């Protein structure tokens, strides 16, 4: 029970940071080009993670197949997710960005059944569908005011955010498959390094013409936040959590993205929040609780710390 509670807390905090990255990303993309921002973020995160991994665990032995899965995970969850998210936010209010990306619970569950033949119990499906219903309450009831704000529905923005959702779902599913062999810290480190490498060509191209005196102290702090809190801490906590719970439970926890982004969008960006947002957030939180209660036996795939070092 104690391990399961730790996993829930870890996933909740991780998804809160992802939701906050939507708001912070809105600020960052006003100053930094998308590829340069991603290069700087994952470059800083990679340096920190390599140092931490060497001190805490040492370098693990990784097979060619695992390295390929880590590359695929980085390509989907870091490169495609961040490109589509940051560009999509340019045409979409941050509130709607958080809502759209929070359809991830259903996408994760459906893909886990299609790709990995996972069997999800009815109670767990109820939690996932309840999370989606919470998102629908927020999104549909807010549609008129949101469209007025943005001058009409931005289908390119919605399409990009939809791709981001699918990418994030694959990111979670691949990470769960890797969690039985590698520690959360090791997965986070290698996925982040791959992300830095993949962003390197386009990031350097944008850096050549970027005026680095333009960003303010707040802009740099936002980048540091994305690197340290969202990437280093958030990713590691997420991998810790998903290795201990079922796919459907981890899927429902991604609904916290909506709660986080809505609250922070209202507080920091002064975007409007109505009663429908509050109801939707309450439903999402209820879905997370329902999914957590459907969990029967916690399974920490990497509970033996000595195994990390000897493999």
**Burial class, 113, CB count within 10 angstroms (exposed 0-12 / middle 13-18 / buried 19+):** middle
Q: What Rg, from alpha-carbon coordinates, does the chain have? A: 19
pLDDT band at 147 (very low <50, low <70, confident <90, very high): very low
| Higher per-residue pLDDT: 173 or 139 | 173
163 touches 99 (CB < 8 A): no
Q: Is residue 135 situated within a structural domain? A: yes
Q: Which of 80-84, 144-148, 154-158, 190-194 has the highest mean pLDDT?
A: 190-194
Q: Is residue 216 situated within a structural domain? A: yes
Please state the rounded mean pLDDT for residues 1-19: 87
Q: Is residue 105 situated within a structural domain? A: yes
| Higher per-residue pLDDT: 259 or 32 | 32
Q: How far apart are CA 206 and CA 237, in angstroms?
A: 32
The pLDDT, as a whole number, for residue 1 is 59
Q: Is residue 254 situated within a structural domain? A: yes
Question: Given a cut of 70, is residue 183 above it in pLDDT?
Answer: yes
Question: Given a cut of 80, is residue 223 above it in pLDDT?
Answer: yes
Report residue 157 CA to chain centroid gap.
18
Domain count, the chain: 1
Assigned token pair, 131: 């999370």
pLDDT band at 117 (very low <50, low <70, confident <90, very high): confident
Q: Is residue 309 situated within a structural domain? A: no
User: pTM for the full model?
Assistant: 0.78
The pLDDT, as a whole number, for residue 203 is 96
Question: Given a cut of 80, is residue 98 above it in pLDDT?
Answer: no
Q: How far apart are CA 286 and CA 307, in angstroms?
A: 37
- Name the strand (E) or helix (H) holding 136: helix 122-141
Q: Is residue 183 situated within a structural domain? A: yes
Q: Is residue 275 situated within a structural domain? A: yes
pLDDT band at 294 (very low <50, low <70, confident <90, very high): low
Q: Residue for token digits 């899965």? A: 69
Q: How far apart are CA 271 and CA 268, in angstroms?
A: 8
- Name the strand (E) or helix (H) holding 158: helix 155-178
Q: What percent of the chain has pLDDT over 70?
A: 83
Closest Cα partner for 276 from 78, 96, 90, 35?
96
Q: Is residue 307 situated within a structural domain? A: no
Assigned token pair, 190: 């290698």
pLDDT band at 187 (very low <50, low <70, confident <90, very high): very high
- Domain assignment of residue 77, given as a range: 2-302
pLDDT band at 95 (very low <50, low <70, confident <90, very high): low
The pLDDT, as a whole number, for residue 96 is 66
**Mean pLDDT of the residues in the chain:** 81
Please state the rounded mean pLDDT for residues 114-118: 78
251 touches 15 (CB < 8 A): no
């Amino acid at each position: 029970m104690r391990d399961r509670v730790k996993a829930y807390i870890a996933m909740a905090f991780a998804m809160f940071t992802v939701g906050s990255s939507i708001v912070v990303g809105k600020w960052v993309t006003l100053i930094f080009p998308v590829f340069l921002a991603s290069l700087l973020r994952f470059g800083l995160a990679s340096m920190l993670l390599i140092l931490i991994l060497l001190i805490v665990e040492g370098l693990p032995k990784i097979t060619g197949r695992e390295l390929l899965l880590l590359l695929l995970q980085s390509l989907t969850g870091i490169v495609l997710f961040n490109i589509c998210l940051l560009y999509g936010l340019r045409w979409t209010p941050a509130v709607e960005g958080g809502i759209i990306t929070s359809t991830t619970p259903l996408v994760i569950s459906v893909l886990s059944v299609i790709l990995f033949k996972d069997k999800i119990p009815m109670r767990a499906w109820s939690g996932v569908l309840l999370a989606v219903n919470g998102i629908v309450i927020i999104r549909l009831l807010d549609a008129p005011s949101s469209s007025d704000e943005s001058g009409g529905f931005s289908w390119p923005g919605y399409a990009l955010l939809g791709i981001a959702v699918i990418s994030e779902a694959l990111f979670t599913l691949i990470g769960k498959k890797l969690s039985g062999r590698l520690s959360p810290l090791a997965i986070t480190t290698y996925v982040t390094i791959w992300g830095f490498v993949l962003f390197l060509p386009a990031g350097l191209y944008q850096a050549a013409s970027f005026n680095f005196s333009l960003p303010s102290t707040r802009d740099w702090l936002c980048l540091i936040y994305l690197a340290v809190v969202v990437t280093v801490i958030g990713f590691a906590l997420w991998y810790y959590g998903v290795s201990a719970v079922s796919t459907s439970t981890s899927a429902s926890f991604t609904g916290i993205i909506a709660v986080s982004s809505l609250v922070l969008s209202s507080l920091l960006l002064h975007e409007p929040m109505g009663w429908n947002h509050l109801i939707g957030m309450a439903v999402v939180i209820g879905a997370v609780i329902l999914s957590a209660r459907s969990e029967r036996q916690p399974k920490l795939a990497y509970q033996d710390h000595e195994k990390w070092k000897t493999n």
